[in-house]
Amino acid sequence: MLDRRKLLVVGGGVAGGAILVPDLVRGLSADATGHQQAQQPHHIGSVPGARVKRPLAAGEPFSVPMPRLHEQRPVSSTYDTDCYQVDIRPADVEILPGVSTPAFTYNGKFSGPTFRTRVGRRTKIVYRNLLDRPANVHLHGAHVPASQDGHPMDVIQPGQSRTYDYPNTQQGCTLWYHDHSHHTEAEHVYRGLNGFYIIDDPSEDRLGLPRGAYDVPILLRDALFDANGELLFGGNPNDRDVALANGKPAPYFEVDARKYRFRLLNAGTERTFNLTLGTDQEMTQIATDGGLLPAPVVRKSVRVSSAERVEIVIDFARYPVGTKLVLNDAKLGPVLRFDVTRTTSDYSRVPATLRPLPVLPAATVTRDVSMSFDLTTVPFPTGLINGRAWDPARSDFVVKRGTTEIWNVTNADPQYIFHTFHMHLVQFQVLEVNGAPPGIDYQGRKDTFWFDSGDKIKLKATFDSHLGKYAFHCHFLEHSSLGMMAQMEIVP
Ligand SMILES: [Cu+2]
């Protein structure tokens, strides 16, 4: 009799069918050292239809420059609002040099255009869906009314348009936007429906951090290409062997010998980057998902899991002109190379204190959130939160507005099955990781974190703004597609 726990669909299988995986963890244990092994995503979440043909190699690293992402211009502006128009449409894009790749795009851009606004300025974006399938847009990390959140069941039908209206009333931060249409979010995001949304904060200008041309968003992700240059989706996410930075494979980026602020976003649907610079050179982390940290933290390696943002400052003045510094991922290898090309003046700085965390009120409600797979279901495992798969008709938690709550979030899966946790609407603070004070990966204003099998994360959140239904889920989007999602309803 088949061991159904092992019956998972992975790349290499027959289209539309399941194949037997000899060992749930085989793909992980064979190809990494212990340290790296613990950081790798597992392969649950593979979906049918994958035919992993002979992959197309990405070519030599550092053969193309990393582009700066296109910044979207408003079509109209008033004294307090900027209006934009965006088509969600298929486009052929050049990711690998000289190769045309079909993608899903916002306005034909891969990665999507960057929206840049300021605290207190309103943004209205009209999205027209020119795909042949429903799509929608979630602004990840944003404090917005439920009607503007891009709820998984609130989609834009093909040929239809809708306007999202964002108040931008939270503090300065690096957000991102992406498709969240249920069951198809993983494929849509993988095929290109993602981009930066940055809220600048005038109250942070006095800090003197690098700005303008020295403030560079970098969208990281992984990909797998077939022999025709098409993006392969549906196989084992671990097979995605090409690291992309701003839509290019392991590019180089010319920098002046001075400080830069890099806003790193991991838009990979089921990938965790573990990044080092050169031969363990220092990077100074200044911000996380929801904005600046209380103080900078010097790091020699940086973990960025799916949907997380990590902002770092690198001071290239430490290196002579001609230096080439590789940003390297523990699994994928080179992600990006910084080439120091010229000296310049630099009046920017990283002050010893940045922005204090808000002091949240005492919590009056405690909840438990347990994330796991039912590995007995076929052809796919079923993603569960507190033992139940996603049901949009159900409000899993009812939260009274104004309440501060403690959530104990547990990865209840066995060894080697990793998850991430993302809560819509609020930025929370992690109080404890397995009973201990949180390390740097969990500090600051967070909306997403990665956690290992068995980990228990205690977080605190205050629900003091909007009413309505908001999702919380695993942000490995293959997992949320399989049901690892729930919703809370904020009530008066
Ligand atoms: Cu998960």
Residue 430 lies in a domain: yes
457 C-alpha to ligand 1 centroid (Å): 14
Nearest 5°: the CA angle 89, 91, 93 is 145
Question: Distance between CA atoms of 184 and 466, rounded to whole angstroms?
Answer: 27
Question: Tokens for 229?
Answer: 């240059």
338 C-alpha to ligand 1 centroid (Å): 33
User: Would you give the DSSP letter of residue 436?
Assistant: B
Question: Distance between CA atoms of 385 and 61, rounded to whole angstroms?
Answer: 40
Residue 291 lies in a domain: yes
59 C-alpha to ligand 1 centroid (Å): 31
Show Cβ contacts of residue 15 under 8 Å, excluding neighbours closer than 6 positions. 48, 49, 50, 51
Domain end among 206, 238, 258: 206
Please indicate, yes or no, whether residues 185 and 298 belong to a single structural domain of this protein: no
472 C-alpha to ligand 1 centroid (Å): 12
474 C-alpha to ligand 1 centroid (Å): 5
478 C-alpha to ligand 1 centroid (Å): 8
423 C-alpha to ligand 1 centroid (Å): 13
328 C-alpha to ligand 1 centroid (Å): 25
Please indicate, yes or no, whether residues 308 and 382 belong to a single structural domain of this protein: no
Residue 1 lies in a domain: no
Please indicate, yes or no, whether residues 111 and 200 belong to a single structural domain of this protein: yes
Beta carbons within 10 angstroms of residue 208's beta carbon = 13
199 C-alpha to ligand 1 centroid (Å): 28
Please indicate, yes or no, whether residues 135 and 246 belong to a single structural domain of this protein: no
> Which residue do the tokens 């838009």 mark?
267
Domain tally for the chain? 3
Q: Is the dihedral of CA 136, 374, 407, 35 positive or negative?
A: negative
475 C-alpha to ligand 1 centroid (Å): 6
Which residues are near ligand 1, the ion (C-beta closer than 5 Å)? 419, 474, 476, 479
Please indicate, yes or no, whether residues 330 and 378 belong to a single structural domain of this protein: no
452 C-alpha to ligand 1 centroid (Å): 10
Q: Which amino acid is at 330?
A: A
371 C-alpha to ligand 1 centroid (Å): 7
Question: Distance between CA atoms of 324 and 341, rounded to whole angstroms?
Answer: 9
- How high is the pLDDT of residue 16? 27
342 C-alpha to ligand 1 centroid (Å): 44
38 C-alpha to ligand 1 centroid (Å): 15
Please indicate, yes or no, whether residues 220 and 285 belong to a single structural domain of this protein: yes
- How high is the pLDDT of residue 33? 26
User: pLDDT tens track of the chain, all 492 residues?
Assistant: 222 233 222 222 222 222 222 222 222 222 222 223 333 333 444 443 444 444 566 678 999 999 999 999 999 999 999 999 999 999 999 999 999 999 999 999 999 999 999 999 999 999 999 999 999 999 999 999 999 999 999 999 999 999 999 999 999 999 999 999 999 999 999 999 999 999 999 999 999 999 999 999 999 999 999 999 999 998 889 999 999 999 999 999 999 999 999 999 999 999 999 999 999 999 999 999 999 999 999 999 999 999 999 999 999 999 999 999 999 999 999 999 999 999 999 999 999 999 999 999 999 999 999 999 999 998 889 999 999 999 999 999 999 999 999 999 999 998 889 999 999 999 999 999 999 999 999 999 999 999 999 999 999 999 999 999 999 999 999 999 999 999 999 999
Domain end among 206, 239, 268: 206
Question: Distance between CA atoms of 266 and 283, rounded to whole angstroms?
Answer: 17
List, as own/partner pairs, every contact residues 16-20 make where C-beta atoms lie below 8 angstroms and the sequence separation is at least 24, other chains included. Answer: 16/48, 16/49, 17/48, 17/379, 18/48, 18/378, 18/379
129 C-alpha to ligand 1 centroid (Å): 28
Helices (H) and strands (E) in the chain, counts: 4, 31
Cβ–Cβ under 8 Å, residues 470 and 424:
yes
Please indicate, yes or no, whether residues 161 and 232 belong to a single structural domain of this protein: no
SS3 track for 310-367: EEEEEEHHHCCCCCEEEEEECCCEEEEEEEEEEECCCCCCCCCCCCCCCCCCCCCEEE
135 C-alpha to ligand 1 centroid (Å): 22
Residue 45 lies in a domain: no
420 C-alpha to ligand 1 centroid (Å): 6
414 C-alpha to ligand 1 centroid (Å): 12
480 C-alpha to ligand 1 centroid (Å): 7
Please indicate, yes or no, whether residues 145 and 236 belong to a single structural domain of this protein: no
309 C-alpha to ligand 1 centroid (Å): 18
Please indicate, yes or no, whether residues 82 and 195 belong to a single structural domain of this protein: yes
Domain end among 206, 225, 256: 206
- How high is the pLDDT of residue 55? 57
482 C-alpha to ligand 1 centroid (Å): 9
Q: Which amino acid is at 60?
A: E
47 C-alpha to ligand 1 centroid (Å): 14
Cβ–Cβ under 8 Å, residues 447 and 289:
yes
Residue 46 lies in a domain: no
214 C-alpha to ligand 1 centroid (Å): 35
User: Would you give the DSSP letter of residue 71?
Assistant: B
419 C-alpha to ligand 1 centroid (Å): 4
CATH number at residue 381: 2.60.40.420
- How high is the pLDDT of residue 57? 67
Side-chain-side CA neighbours of 375 within 13 Å: the count stands at 16
484 C-alpha to ligand 1 centroid (Å): 7
Please indicate, yes or no, whether residues 81 and 191 belong to a single structural domain of this protein: yes
- How high is the pLDDT of residue 59? 76
392 C-alpha to ligand 1 centroid (Å): 18
- How high is the pLDDT of residue 58? 67
373 C-alpha to ligand 1 centroid (Å): 8
331 C-alpha to ligand 1 centroid (Å): 19
Range of the domain at 435: 365-491
SS3 (DSSP) at 440: helix
416 C-alpha to ligand 1 centroid (Å): 11
Residue 28 lies in a domain: no
Question: Distance between CA atoms of 390 and 99, rounded to whole angstroms?
Answer: 39
- How high is the pLDDT of residue 414? 87
161 C-alpha to ligand 1 centroid (Å): 31
Please indicate, yes or no, whether residues 187 and 271 belong to a single structural domain of this protein: no
Residue 236 parent element (H or E)? none
Cβ–Cβ under 8 Å, residues 355 and 291:
yes
Residue 69 lies in a domain: no
Please indicate, yes or no, whether residues 143 and 213 belong to a single structural domain of this protein: no
279 C-alpha to ligand 1 centroid (Å): 32
468 C-alpha to ligand 1 centroid (Å): 25
